[in-house]
Amino acid sequence: MAKHINDLIASRRAVLGGLVGMPLLNLAGCATPGPAASSAAPPAVMNFASVAATNADTVSLPPGYSFRTLIAWGDALFDTVSVNFDPDTLTRAEQEQRFGQNCDMLAALPHTYAFPPPRNGDRLILCVNNEYASAELMFPALERMDQFSAAHLETLYTSVGVSIVEIERDDADWRALKNPAPGEGFNRRITPFTPVRISGPAAQHPWVVAASTVFNANEPGGGAGEVACGTLQNCAGGVTPWGTFLSAEENFDSMFAGTPEDVTEASRDDAYALDVLSHGYPAPYIPRRIAPSQYRIADNPHGPALFGWIVEIDPYDPNSTPKKRTALGRKKNECANTAIARDGRVAVYTGDDQRGEHLYKFVTRGRFDANNRAANMDLLDEGDLYAAQFLENGQGRWLKLTVETANAAAQAAESPIRFADQGDLVMRVRDAARLLDATPMDRPEDVEPVIDANWRGDGTVLIACTNNNERGFETPGNPRRESENPNTAQNNLPGHILRLDEANGDNAAERFTWDVFALCGDPDAPDLIHETRTGLHAHVSVDWNGQPTFTGDRFACPDNILLDSTHRVWIATDGSDAVFGDCNDNVVVTPANATLPRPVKRFLVGPVGAEICGPLLTPDERAFMCCIQHPGANTVAGQEYWQLRWTGAPPPSHFPDGGDRWPRSAVVVVTRDDGGRIGD
């Protein structure tokens, strides 16, 4: 029978949203609903009316709530560019001083560093990932793809990476601030052309050295030891106890132009050939003739080796050089969330967001020093890297990824794969995880460890597995649903959320137990199989082991998770509309400490074609923020706009400016009309 959570859940993001003073989650005696549940705190209230399913092209909220746009793609970060944004005249130089496109994760830090972070504050530093660029949602005046020039494409590349912006509250109204010029204040853009440092065991890997030479030849002028490759495809991430932002590089394969023939020579190296197959580069749809040379596989076959890392950024120093922490492994990272273990070491959880990939944990060798911020700044360069193995009996193991264990496993399997050193292993960490029999997962995305006011973890972790559209059977950590044909393979289109409990409540442990927190789907579905708007068949039962995991509003494809100080889990979706076509992507809420089945209520619905990313609460929890990514990327019927754009069709969305304006990715801020706490 599925377990349930009986006590307060906190999270890394929630600590930044006002959870100082909260107790840790206590899971003692929580195997089943019953007597244990009666001793827990009462379920959190959700005193808002559930938002009806809608395909409206706006942000839909409960009565008594309002939203406004905080900042959107193209908004000026500095006084050195005009407040008027014209997407048709946008250049690389201008985009370097404007908010980026397709914003994803949000993290808010106090304007002045403090540990632990305070519960209040009217001025914050907002760190935002700009995941990728949608060519069809840029340069509205272009009528054909062949009108894209090299300058257009360079500007498109510059629109991704990271945007950092100061925000402040005047009365109850939050607004983004402009700085006089770059370096004068905390506002900043980090793009795929910004100098960075490659640190940790893979810093001198032959692929890194070769690729760095090409990048620096195309972008000269960086400092000694720097590589002008910046960062890109930044999806989720995290924040450290010492006040830095961790940005996770994900689908970097889509930024390298070329064809399979362009990697033929380099693919004579078996390790490289495996890397090409695993990560799927190059991207044949990027016009090679106009792509920046360093992003052409033919000119820079090892260029992808500089990406797929966790990037650490100091938001308190706009002149600091971001560092790629290679010790955490190269993969399609989705997040990087931290918890301080019992002995003071720091655990960092990451998910590899691709079907059949793995869940990872890194534990630092050094210990966090709360009284010396500078002493913590390189903790992420040394430590132990693990991949998760889920077992059928509800137990699990963290498999330590070392050269010795991986090579021994390869030899035992009669595999030709070998790793020269730890730098080579972290470069090809997917190969090592497979050799050691880590569990393939249904796209692990957000991985949220429970922490207290002093960032100490109690070993509890929630894991959002967005979905898997390939047919398969139930495996540990990857449940399948009630079915009329239980012996037939099925997909997991709606996704699910897992709970993991580290042994002895220690985030540095090498063993854990696991359980299903929620099977996403429709608790009121009349049939076990639901037909999506594009004709696919989705198994939508929310039952696991004969018991429903939740009731109330249906949802699918959990992406990001936020947990607040009143026992509620806020779940943002990415692709829920592809399963349940009558409702755009949305945010749902459930009390973490309710007995099964937990009630779920829909709090927010986004505009047409957008996914909802980066849910965040301000320190006093009187404002909720989230990203509206790629509004207009598809129609209500599910047709992708890139298939329509070059036929002259207008975009399906006009968010956030309305009318017939071109859509823009944006950060929105939601407040209660009476100024009260969100959700109460």
Q: Alpha-carbon torsion 420, 426, 430, 434, what sign?
A: positive
Distance set, CA 154 to CA 31, 71, 148, 194, 294 (Å): 54, 23, 10, 13, 11
User: For residue 186, what pLDDT band results from cuts at 50, 70 and 90?
Assistant: very high
**pLDDT grade, residue 12 (50/70/90)?**
very low
- For residue 576, report the phi and psi dihedrals to the nearest 5 degrees: -60, -35
Q: Do 598 and 590 meet the contact criterion of CB atoms below 8 Å apart?
A: yes
Cα dihedral: 296, 300, 305, 309 (round 10): -50
pLDDT tens column, 448-481: 998 888 999 999 999 999 999 998 999 999 999 8
Q: What percent of the chain has pLDDT over 90?
A: 86
β-bridge partners, 98: 76
Q: Are 562 and 11 in contact (CB under 8 A)?
A: yes
pLDDT over threshold 50, residue 30: no
Q: What is the pLDDT of residue 563?
A: 85
pLDDT higher than threshold 50 for residue 121: yes
| CA distances, 107 to each of 246, 345, 378 (Å) | 9, 22, 20
Q: Are 588 and 598 in contact (CB under 8 A)?
A: no
Asked if the model's pLDDT at residue 125 lies above 90, the reply is yes
Instruction: Look at the block and give the residue holding tokens 């399948």.
Output: 480
Tell me the average pLDDT across 425-437.
98
Q: What is the mean pLDDT of residues 167-182?
A: 95
Domain ranges, ordered by start, for the chain? 12-194+230-250+308-365+386-401+436-484+492-672
Q: What are phi and psi of 131, to 5 degrees?
A: -65, -55
What confidence score (pLDDT) does residue 41 get?
Answer: 60
Angstrom distance (rounded) from CA 634 to CA 627 = 17
Alpha carbon distance 261, 318 (integer Å) = 41
Give dist(CA 555, CA 586) in Å, integer.
8
CA atoms within 13 A on the CB side of 672: 14
In this predicted structure, what is the pLDDT of residue 501? 97
Per-residue pLDDT, 119: 87
Position 38 confidence tier, pLDDT thresholds 50, 70, 90? very low
Structure token pair of residue 134: 């949608």
Mean pLDDT of 440-444: 96
pLDDT at position 488: 86
Distance between CA 628 and CA 351 in Å, rounded? 22
Residues in the chain, total: 680
- Give, as one character, the DSSP assignment of residue 595: P
pLDDT of 28 > 70? The answer is no
What is the distance between the alpha carbons of residues 158 and 491, in angstroms, rounded to a whole number? 37
User: Mean pLDDT over residues 309-327, rounded?
Assistant: 98
Which has the closest alpha carbon to 314: 330, 327, 298, 325?
Answer: 325
Quick one: what percent of the chain has pLDDT higher than 70?
94
User: In this predicted structure, what is the pLDDT of residue 265?
Assistant: 85
How would you label 45-67 residue by residue, b for 16+ Cβ within 10 Å and e otherwise? ebebebbebbbebbbbbbeebeb
Looking at the predicted structure, is the pLDDT value of residue 394 above 90?
A: yes
Confidence of residue 24 (pLDDT cuts 50, 70, 90): very low
Q: How far is CA 642 from the centre of its chain?
A: 23
Mean pLDDT within 556-561: 97
DSSP secondary structure of 121-168: -SEEEEEEEE----GGGS-TT--SGGG--HHHHHHHHHT-EEEEEEEE
What's the DSSP call for residue 521? Answer: B
- Per-residue model confidence (pLDDT) at position 311: 98
pLDDT band for position 424 (50/70/90)?
very high
Radius of gyration of the chain (CA): 23
Average pLDDT over residues 309-325: 98
Residue with tokens 């927010």: 604
Model confidence over 269-280: pLDDT tens digits?
A: 999 999 999 999
For residues 51-60, give the mean pLDDT. 98
What is the average per-residue pLDDT within 366-383? 98
Provide mean pLDDT across the span 625-644. Answer: 97
Shortest CA distance to 279 belongs to which of 319, 330, 215?
330
Cβ atoms 191, 157 nearer than 8 A: yes
d(CA 18, CA 108): 11
Q: Which of 7-21, 339-353, 505-519, 540-554 has the lowest mean pLDDT?
A: 7-21
Q: Which pLDDT band, with edges at 50, 70 and 90, does 8 fall under?
A: very low
SS3 content of the chain, % helix, strand, coil (to 5): 15, 30, 50
Q: Are 19 and 570 in contact (CB under 8 A)?
A: no
Mean per-residue pLDDT of the chain: 92
Residue 218 has pLDDT above 60, yes or no: yes
What does the pLDDT read at residue 228? 98
Structure tokens at 481: 């649903």
Q: Give pLDDT tens digits for 237-294.
A: 999 999 999 999 999 999 999 998 999 888 889 999 999 999 999 999 999 999 999 9
How many C-beta atoms surround the C-beta of residue 279 within 10 A? 19
Is residue 39's pLDDT more than 70?
A: no
Whole-number pLDDT of residue 492: 95
